[in-house]
Structure 1
Amino acid sequence: MAVVLQQNSDTMATTTEPPVAKRLTKEQILKTHNAHLKKQENMPSTAPRPVKQPVMTEAYPASTKSIRDVEIIPLNSLQVESHHLNKGIIVKVVSPPFVGAGAVSIVQDSFGNVEKLSIYNQNDSSILSAVPEGCIVAVKEPYYKHNGGGDGDYIIAVDHPSDVILLRFTDPIIPESLRVGPLLKTAEEWKNAGDTAFLGKDFPTAVFCYSEAIEASEDEKFNAPIYTKRAGTNLVLGRYDAAKADSLASRTNGPGDWKAYYNAGRAAYGLCQYEESKEFLEKALELNSSNNVIRKEYDRCLARLKEQETGEYDFSGMLASLSPTNVHLDRASFLRNTRVAESPLHGKGLFATTELKAGEIVFVEKATLMPNQYEPSRASAALYALTVRQLCDNPSLAKDVLQMYDGGYERSGLEGTIVDGVPVLDVFLIEAIRQKNCFSSPLSTVEDTKPRSPEGRMAKGLWIRAAAMNHACVANTMRSFVGDLLISRATRDIKEGEELFHQYVPVKSLPDLRNQRYKDSWGFECACALCSVEKTSPEANRNKRKELLAQIEKICNKKVPGREIIPDATIRTVDRLAKQLEDAHETELYDGLPRLTLIYSSNWLVGAHRGRKNWGKVIRYGIKVLRNFGFRVPSDESEVWDPRGIYAAQDNKTLMTLHVVTALRRLGEAYGALGQKELAERCVEAAEFGYLLVTGFKNSLTDLD
C-alpha cells in the first residue's frame, strides 16, 4: 500500500475540562460526513493513503485493560482533550466510513448520542480499517479532541490499534438497545457469506464470516473445513500467526490432514520459522508423498535452511532479480557468527562467535520490516505504518521488535500482551523504536555506487540483529544492501568474542559535528579510538584544523578535477594548505588513526594531478588518501609495498568507504602508466577487495566508470 506522510497536529492536555456543553446535532454531523463521502467518490482509487505519524511530544499510552474491566460511559460524558482512563465506550457505526489517514465513521451509543470516530493505524487486512455500517465497536480509554472545525466539532481519535475492538453481534457486553442480533442465523449461512466475500476478494469480511460460522457451530466436522478456509484466507492476508493456528485447528486425524500441515508450513515459512516449516511440510509429505506442490514448498524451505546454516548466497542472482517493484527477496538470514550480549560500552552489543578474517561475512540479515517505498518524504511514514500493521497481524513479531532500543520511552511493560484478542500496541513506542533503529537502504548498494545512480532513493527498514550493533567511527564491519537483505562484512581481522561495530551514519570530518549528530539522534557520544583521541587534542589545534579545512573546501569547491584542468597556482595553494593541515595533526595522537580533515584535500589533489597526468604525484597523494583513512602505508611513495595487505591487520583502526576503492584504482592507473605492472595489478586486486566490502559481494570495478 502506498503511503504519504501526514503529520499529526493534535495537541494533548493533561487537565480535565467539564463535559462539553455544545455538540453538533446528529443531522449536522451526518450532513458534513456525507459531504466528505461525496468527495471520496471522486478521488482516484490509486491515490496514496496518508499515514498519521505520531508526534512524540503528544504521546499517551495504549490501554492495557480489557473492555470488560473498564466503566462504559455515554458519548455525552466525554471531556474534550482528555484521555479517559479506566473508561470505555460501546457504539454502533451508523454511516459508511470516510477513509483518509484514518477511517472516520459516525457512531451512536445506546442513549442515542452521536459523534465522529476516527480509527488510525489499522491494516487493510482488518475490517477496522473501514468499519462497515451496522457494526458494533468498543473503544478503551478513548481520547476525545477538537477536530479543527468550528464550535462543537469534536472527534474520538483512536491512535493505538489495540484500543478499538470489533465486537461480535452476540457479545453480551453490547447494551440491549444496540443489539440487532446476528445478521445471519445459521453457521451454514455465515459460511456461504464467507465464500461469497472470498470470491469477491473481500478477504477481511471473509475472515469475519468464517469466524462467525465457527462460533455458531458446535459440529467439529463442520468446523474443520471452515478452519481450512479461514487459514487460506489469512495466508492471502499475510496473517501468518492466525493462519498457522487455523491450519492446526483444522486437523481431523485423517489422511486429509496433509493440507493442514501444508498450510501450517506455509504460515511458518511466512514468519521465517524455517525449522518449524520443515517439520510441518514433512508431515504433509508423509500423508501425501506424491504431491508436487508440497515437495516444491519443502525444497524451498530446505534452501532457506541451507542459507541459514552456511551463509552461502547467490548475491549476483539476487541483484539481477531486483526491480523497483520486487525488493523483498526470498532468502533466509545467516546469523550464527554473532550473538547479542551486554556491551561494556553501553547497553546491548553484537559480538563475534568465531574468528573472522577481513572480507568474511559477519552476518546476512533479511529485514524484519521494510516497505517498498523509496521516496524520502514517504519512507519513514511507510515503515512506521508497516510496523504497526504487521505487529497487529502477526503478534509473534512483537516479542523481538518491541524489545528494541526506544531512547527512554516510558513503557507500561505490557506492550505486546494479548488483551481482548489483540496485542497491546503503543504507536508512540513503535515510532520511538523506528526512529532509533531503522536503517536507510538503497535498492542495492552496488547500484548506489555507480556514477549515474539517482540520488536520495532510500527506503527505511528494521533489521533487528544489525540494530543491536553499537556505533564506531572506525568500525570493524561494513554493511551493504541487496533488496531487503543487509550484508555485514569484516573490514579487518576480528577475534572470537570481540565486539562488532559499524557506522550508524557517514562519518563527518569534524569531531564536534559528528558527535552532535550522535547526541541528537541516539543520545550518545562516540567513544571509538579516533573520537577518544580527538577529545585530547588541544582546542587551539582543533580550531586550526577547522579553519584550514574551511579554506581548502572554499578553493576546491570552485575548481573540480575532471571537469577542468586545474591551474598550477591553485594546486600549489591547496598543497600548501594541506601541508599546514597535516602539521596541525599531532603525530603522537594520530599514529595509526584516520585524519579525516585531510581526506578532502588529498582526494582533490589526486584528481588534480591525474588530470595533468602527473603520475608520480598521483601516487604520492593516493597513498596519502589511504593513510588519511587510517590504513598502514609506506611513508615514502618509492618504498616497495603490497596494497593487498592494508585490510588484514587486527589492530587496524580504519574508516572504509568507496573513496578508498577509488584511491586504489587511481594508484593502479598511475603505477601502470609508470611501467610498474605488478604493483598496478596488486592495487587493482586491493580495489576489488575494497569494492566487495563496500557492495557486500564481488562486483566489477567497471561499474564505477
Structure 2
Amino acid sequence: MAATKSLAPGSVPPSRPTKEQLFKTHKTHLESQDLSPDAPRPVKQPILAEAYPASTRSIRDVEIIPLSELRVEKHHRGQGIIVKVISPPFIGAGAVSIVEDEFGNVEKLAIYNQGDASILSGVPEGCLVAVKEPYYMHSGGDSDYMICCDHPSDVILLRFNDPIIPESLRLGPLLKSAADWRSAGDKAFLEKDFPTAVFCYAEAIEACGDDAAFKAPIHTKRAGTNLILGRYDAAKADALASITGGPGDWKAYYNAGRAAYGLCEYAASKEFLDKALQINPSGTGVRKQHERCLARLREEEHGDYNFGAMLASLSPQHIHLDRGSFLRNTRVAESKHHGRGLFATRALQAGDIAFVEKATLMPNQYEPSRASAALYAMMVRQLCDNPSLAQSVLQLYAGDSLERTGAEGTIVDGVPVVDVFLVEGIRTKNCFSAPLSTFEDTKPRSPAGRMAKGLWAHASYMNHSCVPNTMRSFVGDMLISRATRAIAEGDEIFQQYVPVNALLDLRTAVFKDNWGFECSCQLCVSERRSPRDKLDARKKALAAIERTGTKKPAAGKGGGAIATDATIRHMEKLAKQLEDLHEPDIYDALPRLALIYPCDWLVDAHRARKNHAKVVRYALQVLRNFGFNVPSGEADAADDSWDPREIYTTSGDASLMTVHIVLALRRLAEAYRALGQRDSAGRCIEAAQFGYTLVTGFENDSRVLE
C-alpha cells in the first residue's frame, strides 16, 4: 500500500473525493453503526496540547467561502461556510454527514460535543447549517479530509427562511403555515423526538407573526418540551413568554417555577410558584412543587439534613438527590495562597459543617475508565443547554496554558460560546472523584475503584493543604465538608486535593504536574528546611521498610503467617532508624507521614500476637505521626487520665485527619479493654465515633471498619 501523502498546512488539496465516492464510503459506515438505545456513545475528549479557541464572531460578520477554498490543517479565521446536509448522519463520537455548498462542492462534516437536546447531535438530511471559522483537517488516507467542529457553538442550525442562505440552497418553508409547524411539533412530541418538536414549535412561533393568542400556547408546549430535555433556561423563558394575563397563567408560573428549580434557583422558583398558587390555590401539583421548594430553601438557610435518609435513598440508579446546598458558613474571596479561596463567615468547631453542596454537574458513571469522559461531555452539553451555568462554571481555574477570549458563555447567533478545551481544562483542575457514598466506601469489603467524577463549583474554590482544616465526604451527588479542628471567623478553609504522599519530593511533583503550584502549607514549608541528605535518607529508609512490610505481612493477611518476633524486632529497628531521621526542631508539632506505615504495620503485628501494651504504644504513635497530641512513651501511655476525645481540639493547626485515625482509636480501645482500662477504652470508642463522623460526613457506627 502506498504511503499517505501529507500536505503542508494551509495547502489546498489537489483532489477531493467525488460526491459518489463520498456517498459510497459513507454508506458503508452507516451500515455498521449501532443505534440501539443501550449502545454506549463514545466521547471525543480534547487534547489540551492541541487547543484552539472557539469562534466568537457571528456568522453574519464573517466572509462566506466555498468548500473548494478550504485549506488543510487551517482554522479559517474570519471566514465561514453555509452548507446543506445531503446524507443521514453516521453517529459515533460525533455526527458525520455529507454536506454540499451552493456551488455543488461536497465534503464531510464532523460535528462533536452536541447534547441529546440538540438536533445537531444527529443533524437530519436536508437541514442547513453554518460553520464559523471552520477547521479543515486531514482525517486518514490520501485525499481524505473533513470539516471538524469541536466547539459546539461553531456550528449553527439555520432556519429554512434565514436570509443568509444562498438562493441555490434555499428550499423555502417546508410547511405552509404556523398551524402546520405546530402540528409537526405535536407529532414529533408524541413520537418523543423532543429536539425536533422544539425546532418545529420555533418555526410555528416565527411563522405566526404578531398573533399573540396563537403564540402563547406554543410557548407553553415548548416550555414543557424543554423541561423534558433539561433545557431549563429556555423552558423558563418560554414559560414567561406564555403569560397572557388570564386564569390559565398559573401553568406559565408553574412551568417557570419548575425550570428555576431545575437550575437550583430556589428563591426564584418560590416566587413563581407563589404566583401560580395565587391563581390556582387548589392545584395539587403546584402545591407539591411549592413544598419541595420550601424544603430546599430551609436546607440552604439552616443546613438541616437527614443524611441517614439520604444514604438510604441512594442506589446505583439514583445518585442525584433532591437537596439544596448549604453555603452560608463560607464565602469566596482572594487568597494569599493561590488566587481565590473559601473563607469562614463564622467560627467553626471540630465537627461543624463548613458547607454542604449539591453537585453542579455529576454524571452517573462509576466506571473509572469512563468517568472523566462522562463528566467532560456533561459539562459541555449542559453549558450549551443552560447558558446560565456559565456564571458558576466558566470562571473556574483552567490552568495557565489556556487563553480566554472573555466571550466564553456569551450568546452569539442564539447559542452560548462554549470552548471545549477551556471546559476540559476546568474539569481537570476542579473535578472531584466521588464514591456512591463515603460511608460505604470505607467498609473493608466495599468494591474497590468505583469512583464517579463530579464538579462542585463552590468547593472548587478551596485551596489545598497537606494538613487541611476540613474533610470532605460524599452522599450521592452531595459533598459534605466538615471542620476537623477549630476555624476562626475569616480564616481560610483548606482541603486535601489528593491523599498526600509521605515524601516531600513526590507530593511536590504531584501538585506541580497537576495544578501548577508549590504547596505552602505548614508541613511542606517546614519540611523544606530539612537538608537534602536527610530527605534522601528518609526516602531510602522508608523504601526499606515498605519492602520488609510487603514481603512479610504483619498479621497473616492474604493467608500468610503471623509475623515472627524476629520480623517484628527488625521492623521496630527500621522504624526507630526512620524516626531518628526526623529533626525534632522541625517535626515537634508536625505530622511525620513517613512513620505512619511502619507504625500501622506494628499495630497489626502486635495485635495478632495479642501484645496489647505494644498495640497501645504503636497506635498512639500512629496518632502522633498524623500530628495529634498523645502521651509520649510507654509510661504515659498507661496513664488512665489521658482523654483521646480531646485530640480534635488540642492538637494545633497541623494535624491530619483520615480514616486511619478512626481505626487506630478502635485498636487502642480494644487493647485498653484487654488491659483492664475500660474507661480509656470507652473514651477511645467515643473519639473514634466522632472521627468517623468527620470521615463519612455524618454520624455512623465505626464498627463497620472491623
TM-score, length basis structure 2? 0.97
Shift of 1:251: 0.4
Give 1:177's aligned residue: 168
- 1:493–1:650: 8 Å Cα contact kept in structure 2? no
1:687 to 2:688 alignment: yes
Q: Per-residue CA shift, 1:671-701, capped at 9, x if unaligned? A: 1111111110000000011111110000111
Shift of 1:18: 3.0
Shift of 1:44: 4.0
- The alignment yields a C-alpha RMSD, in angstroms, of 1.1
Give 1:209's aligned residue: 200
Which of 21, 24, 30 is the aligned partner of 1:28?
21
Give 1:130's aligned residue: 122
Q: Distance in 2 between matches of 1:651 and 1:623?
A: 17
Q: Per-residue CA shift, 1:240-283, capped at 9, x if unaligned? A: 00000000000000111000000000000000000000000000
User: Match for 1:697: what amino acid?
Assistant: F
Which of 397, 414, 421 is the aligned partner of 2:414?
421
Shift of 1:43: 5.6
1:163 to 2:164 alignment: no
User: Match for 2:666: what amino acid?
Assistant: R
- 1:244–1:268: 8 Å Cα contact kept in structure 2? yes
1:432 to 2:432 alignment: no
Which of 579, 583, 592 is the aligned partner of 1:582?
579
- 1:494–1:650: 8 Å Cα contact kept in structure 2? no
**What SS class does the counterpart of residue 248 from structure 2 fall into?**
helix
Which of 607, 622, 625 is the aligned partner of 1:628?
625
Which of 490, 494, 498 is the aligned partner of 1:497?
490
Shift of 1:588: 1.3
- 2:353–2:481: 8 Å Cα contact kept in structure 1? yes
Q: Distance in 1 between matches of 2:348 and 2:682?
A: 26
Which of 428, 437, 445 is the aligned partner of 1:444?
437
Which of 600, 617, 637 is the aligned partner of 2:614?
617
Q: Distance in 2 between matches of 1:243 and 1:44?
A: 29
**What SS class does the counterpart of residue 103 from structure 2 fall into?**
coil
Give 1:82's aligned residue: 74
Map 1:209-608 onto structure 2 (within 5 A). 209-217=200-208, 218-408=210-400, 409-563=402-556, 564-608=561-605
1:638 to 2:638 alignment: yes
Q: Distance in 2 between matches of 1:547 and 1:28?
A: 64
Q: Distance in 2 between matches of 1:346 and 1:198?
A: 49
Give 1:110's aligned residue: 102
User: Match for 1:448: what amino acid?
Assistant: D
User: Match for 1:518: what amino acid?
Assistant: F
Q: Distance in 2 between matches of 1:650 and 1:265?
A: 48
Q: Distance in 2 between matches of 1:300 and 1:162?
A: 35
User: Match for 2:581: what amino acid?
Assistant: A
User: Match for 1:509: what amino acid?
Assistant: A
Shift of 1:546: 1.2
Identify the range of structure 1 (455-464 vs 632-641) with the bigger mean alpha-carbon deviation: 632-641
Q: Distance in 1 between matches of 2:532 and 2:156?
A: 60
Q: Per-residue CA shift, 1:346-388, capped at 9, x if unaligned? A: 2101100000000110000011001001111111110000000
1:195 to 2:180 alignment: no
Shift of 1:548: 1.2
Shift of 1:78: 0.3
Q: Distance in 2 between matches of 1:382 and 1:77?
A: 36
Q: Distance in 2 between matches of 1:499 and 1:174?
A: 56
User: Match for 1:127: what amino acid?
Assistant: I
Ranges in structure 2 where 5+ consecutive residues have no aligned partner: 1-5
**What SS class does the counterpart of residue 373 from structure 1 fall into?**
coil
Q: Distance in 2 between matches of 1:487 and 1:480?
A: 5
User: Match for 1:428: what amino acid?
Assistant: F
- 1:338–1:362: 8 Å Cα contact kept in structure 2? yes
- 1:479–1:502: 8 Å Cα contact kept in structure 2? yes
Q: Per-residue CA shift, 1:618-668, capped at 9, x if unaligned? A: 101111110000001111312331000000137331111111000000000
**What SS class does the counterpart of residue 144 from structure 1 fall into?**
strand
Q: Distance in 2 between matches of 1:637 and 1:305?
A: 49
- 2:504–2:527: 8 Å Cα contact kept in structure 1? yes
Q: Distance in 1 between matches of 2:448 and 2:138?
A: 41
Q: Distance in 2 between matches of 1:665 and 1:458?
A: 27
Identify the range of structure 1 (310-319 vs 16-25) with the bigger mean alpha-carbon deviation: 16-25
Q: Per-residue CA shift, 1:78-128, capped at 9, x if unaligned? A: 001110000000000000000000100100000000000000000011000
- 2:627–2:651: 8 Å Cα contact kept in structure 1? no
**What SS class does the counterpart of residue 500 from structure 1 fall into?**
strand
Q: Distance in 1 between matches of 2:100 and 2:335?
A: 54
Shift of 1:16: 4.8
Shift of 1:35: 1.1
1:59 to 2:56 alignment: no
Q: Distance in 1 between matches of 2:651 and 2:422?
A: 39
Q: Distance in 1 between matches of 2:381 and 2:36?
A: 24
Q: Per-residue CA shift, 1:454-495, capped at 9, x if unaligned? A: 111111111111110100001100000010000000000110
- The sequence identity of aligned pairs, in percent, is 69
**What SS class does the counterpart of residue 44 from structure 2 fall into?**
strand
1:704 to 2:705 alignment: yes
User: Match for 1:628: what amino acid?
Assistant: N
Q: Distance in 1 between matches of 2:344 and 2:652?
A: 16
Q: Distance in 2 between matches of 1:370 and 1:18?
A: 43
Q: Distance in 2 between matches of 1:455 and 1:262?
A: 44
- 2:629–2:651: 8 Å Cα contact kept in structure 1? no
- 2:107–2:146: 8 Å Cα contact kept in structure 1? yes
Shift of 1:561: 2.8
- 2:343–2:491: 8 Å Cα contact kept in structure 1? yes
User: Match for 1:535: what amino acid?
Assistant: R
1:95 to 2:92 alignment: no
Q: Distance in 1 between matches of 2:470 and 2:83?
A: 55
**What SS class does the counterpart of residue 348 from structure 2 fall into?**
coil
Give 2:3's aligned residue: none
Q: Distance in 2 between matches of 1:221 and 1:320?
A: 48
TM-score, length basis structure 1? 0.97
Q: Distance in 1 between matches of 2:687 and 2:651?
A: 17
Q: Per-residue CA shift, 1:537-565, capped at 9, x if unaligned? A: 11221122111111111111122233232
- 1:594–1:653: 8 Å Cα contact kept in structure 2? yes
- 2:628–2:651: 8 Å Cα contact kept in structure 1? no
Q: List structure 1 runs of 4+ shifted beyond 6 angstroms.
A: none
- 1:442–1:448: 8 Å Cα contact kept in structure 2? yes
